[in-house]
Amino acid sequence: MPEMLEVRNLKTYFPVRVGILDSLRGKKYFVKAVDGISFSIDRGEIFGLIGESGCGKTTAGRSVLRLVEPTGGEVIFDGVDVLKLGKEELRRIRRRMQIIFQDPYASLSPRMKIGEAIAHPLIIHGIADRREAREIALRMLKRVGLTPEEEYYDRYPNQLSGGQRQRVAIARAMALKPDFVVADEAVSMIDVSMRASILELLEEFRRDYRLSMLFITHDIAVARLIADRTAVMYLGKIVELGKTRRLIDNPIHPYTKALVNAAPSITRRERREKVKLRGEVPNAVNPPKGCRLSNRCPFATDICRTKEPELREVESGHFVACHLA
Amino acid sequence: MLEVENLTVHYFTSVGIVRAVEDVSFSVGRREWFTFVGESGSGKSTVAQALIGLVPPPGKVVGGKIVLNGRNLLEMSEKELRSIRGKEISMVFQDPMTSLDPLRKIGDQMVEAMTEHGIDEEEAREKAVRLLESVNIPADRMDYYPHQLSGGQRQRISIAIATALEPCLLIADEPTTALDVIVQEAIMELLNELKEKGTSITFVTHDVSLAFERSDRIAVMYAGRIVEMGDADELVRNAMHPYLKALLESVPDVCSDKEVKAIPGNPPDLRNPPKGCRFHPRCPFATDICRTQEPELREVENNHFVACHGVV
């Protein structure tokens, strides 16, 4: 399968505001939110990105679309390095690269009818005139299950439930027929009884449009359900990457083990393997030397505290960044 | 130890009366972990707030009894309630900053929680150190302000404060919802230790997996009512209410490749809940009686209660 998106050594650093003394001394500090990650997503593939808050997964998603400016690396989308594009070219390529946010209430204008919210980007991108855009928006509303679509077209976001608003956000992104979508915690705010239908909808668009997706989530059970392959991030780095089921059923990196082990489950009332990490995630301004997990990892040895482990292929298609793997 | 009968709470809003909790009855035994699980708007948090007398306006408890160790809390004065809060019944919130003062050192806050109830300062200070250690926080954090600690540490401290006077009942309303899973797991472990030591836990969560993994007994809420209640193991194996069955089918599982199915439709508007069973508009098995008559919560098997006309 051809790659739709290839991310190489992507870095996004944010400057930290410093005190006056440090600034006089010319000292600068950075939060290395994303610190050299690489992965690729095939056409029609859903690629999961999981990790705890502050691990850099959201920044990674936004950097790929250049909603935040990366510090370095390459993002090859359909053969073009997105990071090298000028403003106009970027605007053009954005039609093909969309994003769905966690909170549809924040991404939909409260004063715009939802039908217009879907039609508007079509006009902006010059895909359709006003009348055609309306036609497409109606079709999309029907497609995401908001029927009768003529009636829904004229509603405002506050007249919809959270699940329905997320359907609108999906319809708006999909109306542009993108090749690639970042879904950032797209089902996290939706009640569990309605979550499955949103996931199903994304699954349908993947199949029908051969859509590639970067699916960012903190919920490992959701990743298991939808993502073909998944990468686990910790403090700006990918620590493990592989086929989702394999990665969850047989995690190799101690961090992945701890993460999977801590996720609640109805079917497992006994924890399989207790990997207890010490303390909590440290400050990203000054991550530990060597392996970033070394100060919390129960298996850490001297090499872990001095040398940063590289992401190596330990089984076919299964990559781990751990000296002990 | 705690007996709640026909608890009913309404919110008197400018756009109508929201019937948030209707006719809820349950009991929590000593050293028991009892969980309310439900989706947004099910009334689970309102139940928790009512237990400790903290339903925010325009909400009001309009009926029922809350009997803790033989005394009805709903008949007590605010002064009497205050002497009980912390000492007999205590609460941990989703956001620990609800109960922590951002401008004061955490040690001082812990000490005050105890001296308010007549413990002398020196003893309170010693106890605060022990409490911090019991929740895995080094004693030198006594001199820290809340903002100097992580979210997980703050939640541990609010648990330490809530349990400082050894209340018999700890109410925990979504205490881990704002936390990552690894920290969540540690907090759940901590609550479990408290239970082992004799505290009863009333836990409120929207997370079905979390509820079933840890609880002794569970009440499942839908649109302000308990629809099913019983031992956690029993409810998983033998769910009877169509809502609980569908809810369990909608939950993805980290350990298995089970398929998930959404529940069609939306929860009702509680200003104007449907007649009869509140779940009937979404229930595939609804018959005429479901649309007209409200089902009662009945014990259909030993300690297994269901509110459904279709369950015999």
Yes or no, beta carbons of A262 and B207 under 8 Å apart: no
What range does the domain containing A305 cover? 3-111+156-320
Residue A298 in any domain: the answer is yes
Distance from CA of A281 to the nearest CA of B (A): 9
Contact call for B248 and A161, based on CB within 8 A: no
In whole angstroms, how far apart are CA A27 and each of A71, A72, A210, B132, B293? Answer: 18, 21, 48, 37, 72
Sheet holding B200-205, edge to edge: B89-92, B169-173, B200-205, B33-37, B217-222, B225-231, B304-306, B298-301
Distance from CA of A62 to the nearest CA of B (A): 21
Rounded CA-CA distance B76/B212 in Å is 34
According to DSSP, residue A83 is labeled: G
A29 pLDDT exceeds 90?
A: no
User: Facing residues of B33 across strands?
Assistant: B201
Q: Do B263 and A200 touch (CB under 8 A)?
A: no
A296 part of a folded domain: yes
B246 to chain A: nearest residue by CA? A193
Q: Tell me how close the Cα of B243 comes to any Cα of chain A, in angstroms.
A: 10
pLDDT category, A162, cuts 50, 70, 90? Answer: confident
Summary mean pLDDT of chain B: 93
The full DSSP string for A144-212 is TT--SHHHHHT--GGGS-HHHHHHHHHHHHHHT--SEEEEESTTTTS-HHHHHHHHHHHHHHHHHHT-E
- Gap between the Cα atoms of A152 and A168, Å rounded: 10
A189-225 pLDDT, tens per residue? 889 999 999 999 999 999 999 999 999 999 999 999 9
Closest Cα in chain B to A197: B262
For A282-304, what is each residue's pLDDT tens digit?
888 888 999 999 999 999 999 99
The per-residue pLDDT for A273 is 60
| Residue B196 tokens, joined | 């082992």
Position B41: which residue type? Answer: G
Cross-chain CB nearest to B208 (options A192, A199, A218): A192
The CATH number of the domain holding residue A296 is: 3.40.50.300
d(Cα A202, Cα B170) in Å, to the nearest integer? Answer: 41
Q: Does pLDDT of B5 surpass 80?
A: yes
pLDDT band at A51 (very low <50, low <70, confident <90, very high): very high
Q: How far is B261 from chain A (nearest CA, A)?
A: 6
Q: Which two structure tokens, joined as six digits, stand for A244?
A: 């989702």
Residues of A with CB under 8 A from a CB of B: 52-53, 161, 163-164, 191-200, 218-222, 224-225, 245, 248, 258-269, 277, 280-281
pLDDT at A1 over 80: no
pLDDT tens, position by position, B9-62: 999 999 999 999 999 999 999 999 999 999 998 999 999 999 999 999 999 999
| Interface contact B213-A245, CB threshold 8 A | no
Residue A283 lies in a domain: yes
Number of domain units in chain A: 1
The shortest C-alpha distance from B170 to chain A (Å) reads 22
Per residue in A228-244, pLDDT (tens digit) is 999 999 999 999 999 99
DSSP label of A84:
G
Backbone angles phi, psi at B100, to 5 degrees: -95, 140
- Are A74 and A273 spatial neighbours (Cβ–Cβ below 8 Å)? no
Q: Nearest chain A Cα to B258, which residue?
A: A225
CB-CB under 8 Å, A196 with B260: yes
Q: Are A226 and A199 in contact (CB under 8 A)?
A: yes
Query: A272: pLDDT confidence band, cut at 50, 70 and 90?
Result: low
Confidence at residue B297, expressed as pLDDT on a 0 to 100 scale: 96
Chain B residues whose CB is inside 8 A of the A277 CB are: 182
pLDDT of A286? 85
- Return d(Cα B54, Cα B52) in angstroms, integer: 6
Residue A72 forms part of a structural domain: yes
Q: Binning pLDDT at 50, 70 and 90, where does residue B266 land?
A: confident
Does residue A122 sit within a domain? no
Tell me whether residue A127 is in a domain.
no
Per-residue pLDDT tens digits for B105-158 = 999 999 999 998 889 999 999 999 999 988 888 888 999 999 999 888 999 999
Is residue A316 predicted with pLDDT exceeding 70? Answer: yes
State how far the Cα of B154 lies from the Cα of A172, in Å rounded to an integer: 40
Q: What is the pLDDT of residue A99?
A: 94
The radius of gyration of chain B from alpha carbons, rounded to an integer in Å, stands at 20
Paired tokens of A212: 């590639």
Sequence-separated (6 or more) residues with CB below 8 Å from residue A183? A99, A100, A202, A213, A214, A215, A216
Could you give the 3-state DSSP secondary structure of residue A114? helix
Flag whether A31 is in a domain: yes
Q: What is the model's pTM?
A: 0.92
Residue A45 inside a domain? The answer is yes
Candidates A22, A265, A278, A30; CA nearest to B186 is A278
